[in-house]
Structure 1
Amino acid sequence: MDNLNSSNTSSLDHTSPDSGRLISSIVLGLCCALGLPGNIAVLVFILRGSSRRPNFTLCLILNLASSDILCLATVPMWIYSLLHGWTLGSATCKLATFLLYLSLYANVLTVTLLGVQRYLQVLYPQMWNRLGRKGKAALVLALWGLACALTAPAVTTRYVGDGELKCRRHSESDAERVAVLILETFLGFVVPFFVLVTSYCCLHRRLTRLVTSVLVAFFVLWVPVHIVNMVDIAGMVLRASRPEASAVLLRHRSAAARVVRSFTFVNSCLDPFLYAFASRRNWN
């Protein structure tokens, strides 16, 4: 996720070719144009189609659509910064970063909770039913609370430097940056993906088509982002002992970041089709 604004080369880096910034802006614009109506349609479809209180699965899908809308709502600011630099000040930089990371973490945690919920409903229904309405509401509140907590490192280290036109991370040291990237990769990808795979493998052949789509989409859209994070970490770790190798890694990392940074927004476009529009047949 840090590929959206890195301390080395970012989407806001005006040393990159104009064509690269323009292509990135077009991709982000398409994500916003397709994803916002799709997720809004999900909200309308579920809220209007539910004559009674939605079940917990539909609540999670509403949660997912809400986090996607929040994510895509920040796109105009990132497009503006790509084309004109960040001229909106440090406070807006922190606010935009908070909204973006909050929505991304809420998205990942919601997808993970969907897998856990389905696992418990199928294999341990009595345990799941014992939670009751209050217990399930507490799960959703805890999800957003955890998303806020995970967002804190990105927000506290992000600001606009003096004379800069970039909303980016400013770390006190390489060690601090490495620690934040490891935290983001571990909690934002490794743990959720492990929980999803474990939950769905325990269901064996049930929900096969939807499960396959969920796992493939999660892996394809998130693993490139965290691979780039790992390359970034390797480059910083090798900076002192092998500066030439470090420079090569960081250069390749910067080039790859221009490609993978849009994947997080593509994910928000695909969610309505993966979860909501398949929900009536597969999740109810």
Structure 2
Amino acid sequence: MADVDLDHLANMTTGGSVITTYNYDEEEILMCTKIDSNKFGDAVVPIFFYLIFTISLLGNGLILFLLLKFESIKTVTNLFILNLVISDLLFTVTLPFWAYYQTHGWIFGEGLCKVASSTFYIGFYSSILFLTMMTVDRYMAVVHAISAARTRKLMYVYLASAVIWAVSLLSTIPKLILYGTRSDPFYGTLCVETGYKMETMQWWEMFGYCQQLLVFFLIPLVVILYCYTLIVIKLYSTKMNNKDKAVKLILLIVLAFFICWTPFNIILFIKAQNLYQKYEDANCNNTIDYVYFLCRNIAYFHCCVNPFFYTFVGTKFRHHLASLFGNWIRRGLRYRHPSLSSRTSEYSPQTIYE
């Protein structure tokens, strides 16, 4: 199936205004060229991908720097944050390739096609699982504080992280095997799932939809809702100060996850339902393609939201930021006004932001 989109958004499906015939692994298949939706994708997708790449790289890169400079990595929370940052960065670094590919075709060779697609999905899947695991960890620390004090050890983080990376890697193996390059008369060289009979490709595509919907959306969503609901109940049953702020943060985290991921997965569910009908459909409906482009970009933007919710809202990381930028400001003042060095040295990082 000719496809310049990473998530199986067919540039050419059956039916529609422009019909052409392709030989797909010795099978002739009637396809249609979705010219309007493809032009829309060419205009919108690269802008979003480059924007997400820039924001995510800056946000997650800053968190990584703060962790390494100011924090001890060997704590439960920081190890989970480190893994989440690595997941988001793995996902992020591939976006420029897909942005360029959207408008110019794949020029990077078959080997990089497999590597880029696998890296993308490893980061994509592991990020969702680490978010879910961090929610479970917070639930254990708040709701079951006594038992968590005994079980929240470094070995627990290492084991959970190893399982998450293993699941993400195993879930990506079909992409590594199936993805490859082939030439297309309309779009040049494509990086797509190719090389097998149509029935085989449809089976793997349906498997991918089910895997995404169940393992990487419904189960995480249920776990997140369950854990945060009990955390909120626990907070309101205690005499904790600033509990309202904590609850608001929890609601924002859940709301961000729901808003970013639900529309995208609803579209995938619709595409899964239409999978076996689209090659027989006489009408080339572009509406789902437009919605897909937008919903997918919203979902991918969640990797930019993670740094804010899971670190920058915390007092500790805000202190680190104040210390970091405060040091830069003091150095700049000393460089421009050497006479101020004795006065600026009196201030600690604490006093700069207070």
The interval holding the TM-score normalised by the smaller chain is 0.7 to 0.9
Relative to 1, partners in 2 of residues 1:279 and 1:63: Cα closer, same or farther, differing over 3 Å? farther
Structure whose alpha-carbon radius of gyration is higher:
2
1:49 aligns with 2:42: no
Q: Which runs of 5+ in 1 are unaligned?
A: none
TM-score by length of 2: 0.70
1:177 aligns with 2:205: yes
1:219 aligns with 2:258: yes
Q: In the TM superposition, what is the alpha-carbon distance from 1:119 to its structure 2 partner?
A: 0.9
Relative to 1, partners in 2 of residues 1:7 and 1:135: Cα closer, same or farther, differing over 3 Å? same
Work out which of the residue numbers 128, 131, 141 in structure 2 matches 1:121.
141
1:275 alignment partner, SS class: helix
Separation of aligned partners in 1, 2:131 and 2:76: 13
Separation of aligned partners in 2, 1:75 and 1:212: 29
2:43 maps to 22
TM-score by length of 1: 0.86
Work out which of the residue numbers 216, 236, 247 in structure 2 matches 1:208.
247
1:261 alignment partner, SS class: helix
1:252 maps to 287
1:278 maps to 313
1:109 maps to 129
Separation of aligned partners in 2, 1:280 and 1:147: 32
Separation of aligned partners in 2, 1:14 and 1:165: 17
Give aligned-pair identity as a percent.
22
- Aligned pairs for 1:147-166 (under 5 A) are 147-163=168-184, 164-166=188-190
Partner deviation per Cα, 1:88-115 (whole Å, 9 max, x = no partner): 2222111111111100111101100011
1:243 aligns with 2:278: no
1:6 aligns with 2:8: yes
Q: In the TM superposition, what is the alpha-carbon distance from 1:239 to its structure 2 partner?
A: 4.8
Separation of aligned partners in 2, 1:238 and 1:18: 24
Separation of aligned partners in 1, 2:258 and 2:175: 23
Counterpart of 1:258, as a letter, is F
Q: In the TM superposition, what is the alpha-carbon distance from 1:253 to its structure 2 partner?
A: 2.5
Q: Per residue, is there more strand in 1 or in 2?
A: 2
Q: In the TM superposition, what is the alpha-carbon distance from 1:140 to its structure 2 partner?
A: 1.3
Between stretches 194-203 and 126-135, larger displacement belongs to 126-135
Between stretches 271-280 and 252-261, larger displacement belongs to 252-261
Q: In the TM superposition, what is the alpha-carbon distance from 1:74 to its structure 2 partner?
A: 0.8
Separation of aligned partners in 2, 1:158 and 1:228: 22
Q: In the TM superposition, what is the alpha-carbon distance from 1:259 to its structure 2 partner?
A: 1.6
Separation of aligned partners in 2, 1:273 and 1:264: 16
1:189 aligns with 2:224: no
2:189 alignment partner, SS class: coil
Relative to 1, partners in 2 of residues 1:231 and 1:127: Cα closer, same or farther, differing over 3 Å? same
Counterpart of 2:250, as a letter, is V
Q: Which protein has greater RCO, CA pairs closer than 8 Å, 6+ apart? A: 1
Relative to 1, partners in 2 of residues 1:214 and 1:3: Cα closer, same or farther, differing over 3 Å? farther
Separation of aligned partners in 1, 2:310 and 2:105: 36
1:87 alignment partner, SS class: coil
Cα RMSD, aligned residues only: 2.6
Separation of aligned partners in 1, 2:136 and 2:46: 36
Relative to 1, partners in 2 of residues 1:128 and 1:91: Cα closer, same or farther, differing over 3 Å? same
Q: In the TM superposition, what is the alpha-carbon distance from 1:173 to its structure 2 partner?
A: 4.4
Separation of aligned partners in 2, 1:227 and 1:154: 22
1:65 aligns with 2:85: yes
Separation of aligned partners in 1, 2:253 and 2:291: 24
Aligned length in residues: 274
